[in-house]
A = this chain, B = another copy of it.
Amino acid sequence: MIENNSNNNTNSNNNTNTNNTNTNNTNTNSNTNNDNNTNKFKGKLFGIGVGPGDTELLTLKAVRILNDVDVICAPRASEKQDSTALNIIKPILKERRKDLTIFDPVFPMLEDESLLNSYWNDATSLIISKLDEGLDVAFITLGDPSIYSTFSYIQKKIQKNQEYYEIEMVPGITSFTSCAASINKPLVEKDEVLSIVPKIQDNFNGFIDNSDTIVLMKLSRNKEKINEIKKDIDDLNGNIFTIKNSSKKNEEIINDFSFDKTYFMTSIVKLNKKINED
């Protein structure tokens, strides 16, 4: 439906409106026909990776779609914070010529799966209601939508829905390739193996044995385990790089792990087993 330059605009209670957003418009879309088995009159859902932080790391495809969709769904971590993904794309939304509805549901970082699930269900219902109205929706997510992304939950829930909805993932720059650019080093060459590990788990030593480079998305708070791992890395003449706020103005590189609480922090462990770095 992205070619349909309609002016339909519906607002939910938790909308954030940009300059050119009409509020309280009535939905005059005659295409809203949930009984129809085809998705001809339904909107399309895009899962868009907005990259690590720098607006310039958006792809041309992401920019085109973000300027064309009717609705943008921008998750945020808490009521107190703006959506980081939304802040990344804001500069390019100025080019838009049609009405836009933005909603920014809170997806808190919770351990309680069932409570977390209720947040996902609410967001999914809201997205489905927009798609049923024939509106195209872009769900924006940091980095890439296939790598530890909040989009995966929405995607699965909508794919499992008894009604068929068209979904397209738009790849984005992942945090770890941005971090490689920050330290100006390759992640892997030739026959090297790269492991992307969300956090330090018990089998971390196995990754040291089997990988040439390890990307560690989050650091454990277990200092004892970290020190043990640091010794192993040192024994292999490996290097540790921790990159905070990669691609942003306040980017920072540390040649060690860091116990900081920066959300945008990734560590790269290069083990230099096969390729001589000298």
Contact = CB atoms under 8 A, between A and B. Distances in A.
Interface of A: 49, 51, 54-61, 63-64, 92, 144-149, 151-153, 155-156, 159-160, 167-174, 177-178, 180-181, 184-199, 201, 203, 206-207, 210-211, 247, 278
A152 B186 contact: yes
Nearest to A155: B186
A146 B186 contact: yes
A41 to B, nearest CB: 21
Contacts of A155: 184, 186
Nearest to A196: B194
Nearest to A182: B169
Contacts of A192: 198
A181 B170 contact: yes
Contacts of A168: 181, 184
Nearest to A277: B156
A111 B194 CA distance: 22
A54 B199 CA distance: 33
Contacts of A191: 198-199, 201
Contacts of A169: 180-181, 184
Nearest to A203: B210
Contacts of A180: 144-146, 169, 171
Contact of A146 (B63, B145, B187, B206): B187
Contact of A149 (B55, B144, B174, B186): B186
Give 7 nearest A-B pairs by CB, closest first.
A146-B180, A169-B181, A56-B61, A152-B186, A194-B196, A146-B187, A171-B177
Given A168-B181, A181-B168, A181-B171, A194 B59 contact: no
A181 B180 CA distance: 22
